[in-house]
Chains A and B, each alone.
Chain A
Amino acid sequence: MRFYEYEAKQVLKKYSIPLPNSLFVQNSDSAFNAATDLSTDVVIKSQVLSGGRMKAGGIDFANSPEEVKIKSQTILELDINGLHPVGVLIEEKKNVVQEYFAAVTYDGRAKKPVIIFSDMGGIDIEEVANSHPDHLSRTHFSAAKPFSPFTAKNAVSAVGVTGRELNQLSGIVTNLCKLFLERDLTLAEINPIGKLEDGSIIALDCHLDMESEARNTHSAFLTEIGVPEEDNRQARPPTQFEIDAANVDAADTRGVAGNLTEFDGNLGLIIGAGGGSLTLFDAVRAAGGNPANYCEIGGNPSVAKAANLTKLICSQPKVDKVAVMMNVVSNTRVDIVARGVIKGCIEAGFDPAEKIAIFRIPGSWEEEGFALLERYGVDYVDRSVSMHEAAQRAVQKMKGI
């Protein structure tokens, strides 16, 4: 779950990382007041979960409250990469003489957290890694042992920083590492960290991601920051179809029947499990099909759960037919899914033989499942028909071939 910049800065503040003064506002009148309170030149920053804000016009500068009001209005109305801002951050403008980069994340290869530090902040860090490798350090540390500040010092020192800057930056990176571990983050990045004319060092922009699985552990902390519980923070806001599917999944703890993402097409997909869904979605597209949705079923969901997801998908006006497909299943029972999709289809007011383009779930309890499908006249195939072939048959049926 990604934090908005204004939320992330509250988090940094709790971890004693120095920041410019700023105020989060949601309309241009409040922006005017914020600028009056700050009484200095300010930066207006769109609060949107997307990179590339500067390029898109989501960041602007102003030196009077009147100018802040006008420019805030423009930024508040500007969508960036399809996302609408939740507000703007009005922040003191600082004169920076040197920029640094610091990030903490997990390295799946080393299986440990890693500090990435550079004295060339503010620009694309992958570019620094390629063209100036001596200006970038990677320092792994243990997630199991207590964090010791020397690790942060090593990371900063490795790019040649010394003197007062070394000590100030080590302090910031130490706090960033503590925050990363204590709050189950998967990314904690400050870019840039700015050194000001008076020699002080502060965090200018940041990006924090918290692991979704750990959200419950930190619910009190998130409430303090003001993050709403139901906010899922995908790359775009969820559609009604997606919200309804999430409710189907949450209503029953047994198995998975959800994680639905809406697409523009007309072929409803009831697919699983995790890897099978990825494979089948690709297969449908490769065959020239237009999926109405991505989803995942697996882990042996109940009949009711499979039925409710099917009913939801079949009820979407844009869905002409549905394809029910999985890899050869181990722990999910074929007969239970078959019963569920037939029930859901009928409850939505459709004839399963017409609405279900194909049923391809081989594996445990398949004989019982296939017998049921036979009775309702549903077109089904066993494991001798591959996932890609099944996807192709579904697409052909959509095209009336």
Chain B
Amino acid sequence: MSILIDENTKFIIQGITGREAVTMAKELLDYGSKLVGGVTPGRKGREVHGVPVEDTVRAFTDNQPIDASVISVPPAFAADAVNEAIEAGIKLLVVVTERIPRKQVAQFVEYAEQEDVRLIGPNCLGIISPGKSKLGGVGGALESCKQAFQPGSIGVMSRSGGMTTEIANSLSESGLGISTAISIGGDAIIGSTYAELMPLFDQDPETKGIAIYSEPGGRAEYELAEYMESTGSKLPVVAFMAGRFMDEMPGMRFGHAGTIVEGKADTTSEKIVKLSESGISVAEKIEDIPALLKQRIS
């Protein structure tokens, strides 16, 4: 099993003719993902690596069931693209675009919630269920991707796209492998947080443990800690916290848009305390994650 996507997930890419999206389309098709087409206004009739391009999302959804859309358009058009996909009835959206103003994110996240749409991102690299499918640029080209993401039993959630692959790679090398990995996005407001995705992993019989990558800024780690305490989730969780140096530099901006320390609760040291109290192990190095998980998976 896996969560959110599997080998049958049919999806499109909005913004498919963009430079990065063309590369992504090739990688997705190489991986075996069921990418059925893409949307770029004014480019109807073209093909990208053999899949058709349409002007509208409706052009696809009117004719066949579409499970998901990967949104890779410039920031100025991102909110409109999300709204178009929601209105067309697509229930899973992966928003790759970064640098979307926070108000627009809050607006489309609210719309998605109203319409029961699962939204991942923005500012993320997507979802991968190794050996089945991936949506988004996560893992990159085929060979390197297969090496880093081997099928297995650990769910991964990461605020950093690149670190999703780094953590997955260490889990694959250790033999644990990955059930589903999700790059959840680095912005201050995201569609799906750790705590909101945990119930899906909890229900997945194949997932035996969780690895998360975390950063300063925001309260998502507190929400996860509360979820762990309130549900008594059986899954062992190991967290890695980056950006410890930022505790000494309040107000400076590093990394992602969500990574700015605005209060004491935002700092890595406060978050580490809270995560530890809720029973989550905190790894000092990426390479310590597999061993910590193995200790706790009985």
A contacts, CB < 8 Å to B:
106, 108-109, 111-113, 126, 142-144, 181, 184, 186-187, 211-214, 217, 234-235, 259, 261, 272-279, 281-283, 285-286, 294, 296, 298-300, 326-331, 362-366, 383-384, 386-389
Add 8 more A-B contacts to A274-B255, A275-B158, A363-B144 (CB < 8 A).
A111-B189, A211-B101, A235-B251, A261-B254, A279-B240, A298-B162, A328-B148, A362-B144
Task: Give the shortest distance, in Å, between A335 (CB) and chain B (any CB).
Answer: 12
Q: How far is the CA of A328 from the CA of B148 in the complex (A)?
A: 8
Cross-chain contact A386 with B286 (CB below 8 angstroms): yes
Cross-chain contact B254 with A277 (CB below 8 angstroms): yes
Cross-chain contact A108 with B161 (CB below 8 angstroms): no
Cross-chain contact B189 with A386 (CB below 8 angstroms): no
A and B contact pairs by CB, cutoff 8 A, 23 listed: A108-B218, A108-B258, A109-B193, A111-B113, A113-B106, A144-B106, A211-B102, A213-B99, A275-B158, A275-B159, A275-B255, A277-B254, A277-B255, A282-B245, A286-B284, A300-B20, A327-B165, A329-B162, A330-B138, A383-B148, A383-B169, A387-B166, A387-B286
Cross-chain contact B215 with A278 (CB below 8 angstroms): yes
Cross-chain contact B109 with A294 (CB below 8 angstroms): no
CB < 8 Å neighbour of A213 from B100, B125, B137: B100
Q: How far is the CA of A124 from the CA of B139 in the complex (A)?
A: 45
Q: How far is the CA of A277 from the CA of B160 in the complex (A)?
A: 10
Task: Give the shortest distance, in Å, between B107 (CB) and chain A (any CB).
Answer: 4
Q: Which chain A positions have C-beta within 8 A of B256? A: 274-275
Cross-chain contact A282 with B243 (CB below 8 angstroms): yes
Q: Which chain B positions have C-beta within 8 A of A181? A: 103
Of residues 122 through 169 on chain B, the ones whose CB sits less than 8 Å from some CB of chain A are: 125, 137-141, 144-145, 147-148, 158-163, 165-166, 169
Cross-chain contact B189 with A275 (CB below 8 angstroms): no
Task: Give the shortest distance, in Å, between B172 (CB) and chain A (any CB).
Answer: 10
Q: Is B110 an interface residue (CB 8 A)?
A: yes
CB < 8 Å neighbour of A274 from B160, B170, B188, B252: B160
Q: How far is the CA of A16 from the CA of B216 in the complex (A)?
A: 36
Q: Which chain B positions have C-beta within 8 A of A389? A: 287
Known pairs A217-B101, A275-B162, A282-B244; A235 contacts B252 (CB<8 A): yes
Cross-chain contact A328 with B169 (CB below 8 angstroms): yes
Task: Give the shortest distance, in Å, between A291 (CB) and chain B (any CB).
Answer: 9
Q: Which chain B positions have C-beta within 8 A of A186? A: 102, 188
Of residues 44 through 70 on chain B, the ones whose CB sits less than 8 Å from some CB of chain A are: none
Task: Give the shortest distance, in Å, between B26 (CB) and chain A (any CB).
Answer: 12
Cross-chain contact B255 with A278 (CB below 8 angstroms): yes
Q: Which chain B positions have C-beta within 8 A of A273? A: 160-162
Q: Which chain B positions have C-beta within 8 A of A327? A: 160, 162-163, 165-166
CB < 8 Å neighbour of B242 from A126, A282, A331, A362: A282
Q: How far is the CA of A261 from the CA of B144 in the complex (A)?
A: 31
Q: How far is the CA of A289 from the CA of B163 in the complex (A)?
A: 22
Q: Is B294 an interface residue (CB 8 A)?
A: no
Q: Which chain B positions have C-beta within 8 A of A235? A: 249-252
Q: Which chain A positions have C-beta within 8 A of B159? A: 275
Q: How far is the CA of A259 from the CA of B255 in the complex (A)?
A: 8
Residues 213-243 of B, flagged 1 when their CB comes within 8 A of A and 0 if not, give 1010011100100000000000000001011
Q: How far is the CA of A168 from the CA of B253 in the complex (A)?
A: 37
CB < 8 Å neighbour of A285 from B144, B148, B193, B245: B245
Known pairs A111-B110, A386-B170; A106 contacts B102 (CB<8 A): yes
Q: Is B42 an interface residue (CB 8 A)?
A: no
Q: How far is the CA of A274 from the CA of B214 in the complex (A)?
A: 12
Closest to B257 in A: A213
Closest to B244 in A: A282
Q: How far is the CA of A211 from the CA of B271 in the complex (A)?
A: 25
Cross-chain contact B161 with A279 (CB below 8 angstroms): no
Closest to A294 in B: B254
Cross-chain contact A108 with B166 (CB below 8 angstroms): no
Q: How far is the CA of A259 from the CA of B251 in the complex (A)?
A: 15
Cross-chain contact B139 with A330 (CB below 8 angstroms): yes
Q: Which chain A positions have C-beta within 8 A of B75? A: 213
Q: Which chain A positions have C-beta within 8 A of B161? A: 273-275, 330
Of residues 177 through 228 on chain B, the ones whose CB sits less than 8 Å from some CB of chain A are: 186, 188-190, 193, 213, 215, 218-220, 223
Across the A-B interface, the 9 shortest Cβ-Cβ residue pairs: A275-B160, A330-B140, A235-B251, A327-B166, A278-B243, A278-B242, A143-B106, A275-B163, A327-B162
Q: Which chain B positions have C-beta within 8 A of A283? A: 285
Q: Which chain A positions have C-beta within 8 A of B278? A: none
CB < 8 Å neighbour of B144 from A213, A217, A299, A366: A366
Q: Is B23 an interface residue (CB 8 A)?
A: yes
Task: Give the shortest distance, in Å, between B145 (CB) and chain A (any CB).
Answer: 7
Cross-chain contact B252 with A275 (CB below 8 angstroms): no
Cross-chain contact A328 with B144 (CB below 8 angstroms): yes
Task: Give the shortest distance, in Å, between B140 (CB) and chain A (any CB).
Answer: 3
Q: Which chain A positions have C-beta within 8 A of B262? A: 187
Q: Which chain A positions have C-beta within 8 A of B147? A: 383
Cross-chain contact A276 with B137 (CB below 8 angstroms): no
CB < 8 Å neighbour of B245 from A126, A187, A281, A365: A281
Cross-chain contact A272 with B188 (CB below 8 angstroms): no
Q: Which chain A positions have C-beta within 8 A of B242? A: 275, 278-279, 282
Which one of A187, A274, A282, A362 has the highest number of Cβ atoms from chain B below 10 Å of its Cβ? A274
Task: Give the shortest distance, in Å, between A233 (CB) and chain B (any CB).
Answer: 10
CB < 8 Å neighbour of B219 from A108, A298, A331: A108
Q: Which chain A positions have C-beta within 8 A of B111? A: 144
Cross-chain contact B252 with A234 (CB below 8 angstroms): yes
Q: Which chain A positions have C-beta within 8 A of B103? A: 143, 181, 184, 211, 214
Cross-chain contact A276 with B163 (CB below 8 angstroms): yes
Q: How far is the CA of A137 from the CA of B166 in the complex (A)?
A: 42
Q: Which chain B positions have C-beta within 8 A of A276? A: 160, 162-163, 166
Closest to B220 in A: A108
Q: How far is the CA of A362 from the CA of B145 in the complex (A)?
A: 11
Known pairs A111-B110, A111-B189, A276-B160; A328 contacts B219 (CB<8 A): no
Cross-chain contact A330 with B162 (CB below 8 angstroms): yes
Q: Which chain B positions have C-beta within 8 A of A272? A: 162
